[in-house]
Amino acid sequence: MSSVLISEVGPRDGLQNCKAIMPTAEKKRWIAALAEAGVTEIEIGSFVSPKLLPQMADTGEILDFAVTIPGLTVAVLVPNLKGAERAIAGGAHKITLPMSVSETHSLRNIRRTHDQVIEEATAITELIGQTPEGKRPHFEGSLSTAFGCTLEGPVPDAVILRCAERLMAAGCDEVGLSDTTGYGDPASVKRLIRAVRAVVGAENLTGVHLHNTRGLGLANALAAYEEGITTFDGSLGGLGGCPTAPGASGNVVTEDMVFMFEAMGISTGIDLRKLMATREIVTTALPEEELYGFTPRAGLPLGYKGEPVRAAAAH
């Protein structure tokens, strides 16, 4: 049976886009419940300035907690060397450095040019080299706004490929493709995966981070799967939304993505009922936040992995 890795990014990408701040104790409960549901990789937060993102101010404490959960790969987003130092000191298993292929967005988002991002990547690689073996995190460079930028529009392939090459040359273990703006479509997803893999090698691009801004999240995930991608970021309830597109969810809804793969016979290792039950923790902690997802609303189909088919028919 084939399988995929679903990486839950709700505690980072979801929560950082919420107006309200989820209390630390509730974040811990949620992360523990996700792991209990069979989620084996969670991006638990980011080490950014608490002035810019107060939602992420407790990432240090969340990291300390998350690394105690057996079998969980704990991922952290880091915008620079400083963030990487904290992530590595806290024992993160995976760190992701975002590099906006749109330099305008990069300057606006993390106030760095491409050259400066590459300098950070190089410094992070050096730091990892100085870290004792066994405590070295997997280092991913994430190509954000890869399918288009709200400031620049489409970014030329040549620029994207150059960024991918430079991140690998700077010492990243792999690059990822991020549809930060939800501009991607199944054809562009396939095309860009092929183009980037031709430059960095197929083994160095295994994950995608897709948004559902225009409703194409699942279609794009399936397109990526067909190209051989094995790691898919998702956010519980599509948490986070999109500030510029009311009613549009943020990341691909994890529950719907798990349903799609499982229904196709592709294992995610996740217990969908338990996963959906964790929505309760989020809605209780953040009552103002809208959660998305078709599967949680419709329920599981009769006969889905032990759903009781006969129960209804007996009466």
Q: Is 242 a catalytic residue?
A: yes
The residue (of 13 and 255) whose beta carbon lies closer to Zn ion is 13
Residue 239 and residue 10 in contact, taking contact as beta carbons nearer than 8 Å: yes
Site string for Zn ion, 4-33 (x = CB under 5 A): ---------x--------------------
Contact 186/216 with Cβ under 8 angstroms?
Answer: yes
| Beta strand extents in 2-81 (DSSP E only) | 5-8, 41-46, 73-77
Contact call for residue 140 and Zn ion (CB under 5 A) = no
Binding residues for Zn ion, how many (CB under 5 A)? 1
Contact 42, 66 (CB under 8 A): yes
At closest approach, how far in Å is the CB of 14 from Zn ion? Answer: 9
- Separation CA 256–CA 236 (nearest Å): 9
CB closest to Zn ion, residue no: 13
Q: Of 96 and 295, which CB lies nearer to Zn ion in the complex structure?
A: 96
Cα 212 from Cα 182, distance rounded (Å)? 6
The total of other beta-carbon atoms located within 10 Å of residue 68's CB is: 10
Residue number with CB closer to Zn ion (13 or 262)? 13
Q: How far is the CB of 181 from Zn ion (least distance, A)?
A: 9
**Min dist. Cβ of residue 44 to Zn ion (A):** 15
Provide CB contacts within 8 A for 269, sequence distance 6+: 3, 38, 40
Q: Nearest approach, Cβ of 70 to Zn ion (angstroms)?
A: 28
Considering the complex, state which of residue 148 and residue 262 has its C-beta at the smaller distance from Zn ion.
Answer: 148
| Catalytic annotation, pick one of 18, 149, 172, 242 | 242
Could you count the other beta carbons within 10 Å of the beta carbon of residue 86?
A: 16
Site for Zn ion in 204-233 (CB under 5 A): none
- Report yes or no: 252 and 212 within 8 Å, Cβ to Cβ: yes
Q: Which amino acids are annotated catalytic?
A: 242
Which positions lie near Zn ion, rule CB under 5 A? 13
